[in-house]
Structure 1
Amino acid sequence: MSWSDRRKFLKFFAVASVISGCGFTPAYAPGGSADGLRGAVSVAEPSDANSYEFVKQLETRLGRNLSAPYRLDYTITTRSEGVGITPRQEITRTQVLGAVEFTVTSVASGDVVQRGNISNFTSYSTEGSTVSTAAVERDANRRLMVSLADLMTTRFIATYADWGA
């Protein structure tokens, strides 16, 4: 066994020992903090391109169930601002800021089990043709919606055990 193989083995053994000794339980595993979350939230229908991307990512992460015990209602807001400005006052980079205000309601009782907001940003270059700038703007908005949906999923995983499920 070479020295590099031994180091890899020892590193793997050390990491495995730490993880198994700390009480780590995968979130979606039986008994995990988000056990039962998948398929438990129905998401309000999208109304535009941004909300479509947001809902698509949420349903990829959480599953799609129109008769789920919880309903997610949301409002997405975005705004753009120039951040890269040349001495001639030409904008070369645009930042897209997005926020989602949301409410998760128990369908059975009508009680709000989670309420809050999340936000993030992304940016894109405006140096290019009109067509290429429009394409990167659409991509930046898509990336922002994916990021916001992932942040929401993370919050749901962390708080699902407190929803009273």
Structure 2
Amino acid sequence: MWSCKRRNLLAGLASLTLVLSACGFAPAYGPGGNAASVTRNIALAAPQTRLEYLLNQQIERRLGHAPGGDYQLTTAITTSDERIAVTSTNVTRRFEIVGSADYTLTGPDGAVVTQGNVGGFTGYSTTGSTVATTAARTDAQDRLMVILADQIVTRLIAAAPAS
């Protein structure tokens, strides 16, 4: 009984592979995939703030460092802190940092290739000392920039021209 189900599964996977290859599906990171046209080919705008630096750092981690790349990526980050756990005595025990980033990718000719907005949130606790709360907030900001950068990279690869 198990071997029959296994054969059906293998046959289904084989037919799925044929269907996907027939419709022009190609892995983004595979040979000739869209990721090849943007990997190590996007120059980032110089960061002006700590958050911009962290965002750029994560994007470069994923796509590579390319100060003279053919494409130019500009970003604008906005964040806000929101109280989410407040005691009956009006003491905030937990904050949530909500952030978004607008991005624009321009091509070698200066035309906009893609643009959009991504968003995310992280939280941190304020139940420790002042130093612990500051460290927790900084860590939450770091995590938020990773979330936003990963979303931007995913969208850039999806919108990248085929190489």
**Pairwise TM-score range, normalised by the shorter structure:** 0.7 to 0.9
Task: Please give the per-residue CA displacement for 1:23-58, whole angstroms capped at 9, x wherever unaligned.
Answer: 353212122232322012111111121111100000
Give 5+ residue unaligned stretches, structure 2. Answer: none
- Give the 5 Å matches for 1:77-156: 77-106=78-107, 108-156=108-156
Q: How many residue pairs align between the two structures?
A: 156
CA contact (8 A) 2:81 2:97 kept: yes
User: Relative to structure 1, is the Cα distance of residues 16 and 112 closer, same or farther in structure 2, using a 3 angstrom cutoff?
Assistant: same
CA contact (8 A) 1:28 1:36 kept: no
> What value does the CA root-mean-square deviation take over the aligned residues?
2.4
Q: Secondary structure at the match of 1:102?
A: strand
TM-score by length of 2: 0.84
User: 1:32 — aligned with what?
Assistant: 33
The CA distance in 1 between the partners of 2:38 and 2:15, in whole Å, is 27
The CA distance in 2 between the partners of 1:71 and 1:151, in whole Å, is 17
TM-score by length of 1: 0.83
When structure 1 is superposed on structure 2, of 22-31 and 63-72 the one drifting more is 22-31
1:161 aligns with 2:161: yes
Letter in 2 for 1:110: G
Identity %: 36
Letter in 1 for 2:124: Y
User: Relative to structure 1, is the Cα distance of residues 133 and 18 closer, same or farther in structure 2, using a 3 angstrom cutoff?
Assistant: farther
When structure 1 is superposed on structure 2, of 113-122 and 19-28 the one drifting more is 19-28
User: 2:68 — aligned with what?
Assistant: 67
